[in-house]
Amino acid sequence: MFDLYFWVSVYQVMDRKTIESDVRFTIDDLFRKAGIEIAFPQRDIHLDTSRRPLHVAVVDNRDSGKVSSQ
C-alpha cells in the first residue's frame, strides 16, 4: 500500500478530476511495465476433490424442503 500526494493549481473542478485520472492511469501503466500486478478482491473457492468426490445437494424450498442429490 502506498499514498501519493501531489499539488496542482486548477481553475475548474473537471481539470482536477482529469489530472487525478491521468495520474492513476500513469501509475497503472508504470506498474504494468515493471511487472507489478495490483490484486483485486476475488471470491474464488478452490475445493480439493482429489481424495473424494464432492457431494452436491440441491434443496428446493418451494417443495417442502425435499432434497435431490447428484
Instruction: Please tell me the distance from the alpha carbon of residue 49 to that of residue 5, in angstroms, as a whole number.
Output: 48
Residue 5 lies inside a defined structural domain of this protein: no
Q: Does residue 36 sit within a domain?
A: yes
Domain extent for 30: 11-40
What are the average pLDDT values for consecutive 10-residue runs of the chain, which has 70 residues? 86 90 94 89 81 84 61
Specify if 59 maps to a domain: no
Give domain status of residue 50, yes or no: no
**What's the confidence (pLDDT) of residue 49?**
81
Residue 6 covered by a domain: no
Let me know if residue 18 belongs to a domain. yes
User: Which of 49, 52, 61, 58 shows the shortest CA–CA distance to 69?
Assistant: 58
| Location of C-alpha cell 468426490 | 53
What distance in Å separates the CA atoms of residue 47 and residue 38, rounded to the nearest whole number?
A: 25
Q: Is the pTM of this model over 0.85?
A: no
Q: Enumerate the β-bridge partners of residue 38.
A: none
pLDDT at residue 69, as a whole number: 55
Give the count of domains, the chain.
Answer: 1
59 closest CA partner among 51, 68, 50: 68
Q: Is residue 17 a part of any domain in this protein?
A: yes
Instruction: Identify whether 32 is part of a domain.
Output: yes
